[in-house]
Amino acid sequence: MKRVTAFIGSPRKRATYQAVQEFEKNLESYGEIEFEYVFLKDYKLDFCTGCCLCFDKGEEFCPLQDDRDVLLEKLYQSDGVVFATPSYSFQVTAPMKNLLDRMAFCHHRPRFFDKTFTAIVTYGIYGGDSIVKYLESMGQNFGFKTTRGCSLMTLEPRTESQQAKMSEKISQVSRRFFEEMMSQRPVPPSFMQVFVFRLSRTAIKLLLDENWRDYRYYKEKGWLESGYYYDVKLGFGKKLAGLLSDFIGKSMVKRRS
């Protein structure tokens, strides 16, 4: 049994909710799934005050007392995670952005490597695809096994063929997500992911020390020495790209000091 949680950024139960319901139904037709809807509007999540304590000292030092850890726990307890949101002014809605801001320490200290992620975005007229890409990059930065999401134009009235096209898109997203969630293989990183990892760890190694949470986190995980976040075979090209990134990282730090 796999547990999937959908975080929904819409303040109402309409197009985005309906798309996620269809996604859920598809998943349940492939296998045994326990599915939870998390409507962000129902949780108390204050705005980040910008103190950076979560980055520097650790997330437990956040001065805000709200439901952040309830939501974080839901991420930890899931095998699969969906971020679903309407487009508001060409971006995710405010509750969804707030969730991303409040979880931003996960960009510094990625953690969800064994969990699958996707994004579902609804929009009225234009601009859904760039939001999907944005959410996919958030998923990747957090460490998730990120599968391609979709954007759905929800303007009404809809013809039968438009509705069928929408269902086909949701079906493809569901299939990709399910297959990745069931797969045991470590996802091979892209060149860009190797580059980002090696640059980050070089900067952390050279600029920080034990007083910083990121440094301790990387050290505990063995990331200050490893080729990537997790054990995965890197081909010759990616090993070379990694070494080059180490070199670039060192030169950047040297130039800065």
Ligand X SMILES: Cc1cc2nc3c(=O)[nH]c(=O)nc-3n(C[C@H](O)[C@H](O)[C@H](O)COP(=O)(O)O)c2cc1C
Residues contributing to the site for ligand X (CB under 6 A): 10, 12, 14-17, 86-90, 122-127, 154
Q: Which is nearer to ligand X, 155 or 244 (CB)?
A: 155
Residue 156 CB neighbours (<10 A): 7
Q: Which is nearer to ligand X, 89 or 161 (CB)?
A: 89
With helix as H, strand as E and coil as C, how does 43-97 read?
CCCCCCCCCCHHHHCCHHHCCCCCCHHHHHHHHHCCCEEEEEEECECCECCHHHH
Structure tokens at 64: 């805000």
CA dist 255 and 179 (Å) reads: 45
Question: Minimum Å distance from CB 135 to ligand X?
Answer: 14
Question: Minimum Å distance from CB 118 to ligand X?
Answer: 17
Question: Minimum Å distance from CB 90 to ligand X?
Answer: 4
Question: Minimum Å distance from CB 121 to ligand X?
Answer: 8
Q: Which is nearer to ligand X, 93 or 200 (CB)?
A: 93
Q: Which is nearer to ligand X, 120 or 181 (CB)?
A: 120
Question: Minimum Å distance from CB 22 to ligand X?
Answer: 13
Q: Which is nearer to ligand X, 88 or 217 (CB)?
A: 88
Q: What is the DSSP letter of 163?
A: H
CB 76 within 8 A of CB 103: no
Angstrom CA distances, 167 to 17, 94, 164, 171, 174, stand at 14, 27, 5, 6, 10
Question: Minimum Å distance from CB 71 to ligand X?
Answer: 19
Among 11, 19, 15, 75, which Cα is nearest to 43's? 11
Structure tokens at 45: 């999540």
CA dist 245 and 252 (Å) reads: 10
Q: Which is nearer to ligand X, 118 or 122 (CB)?
A: 122
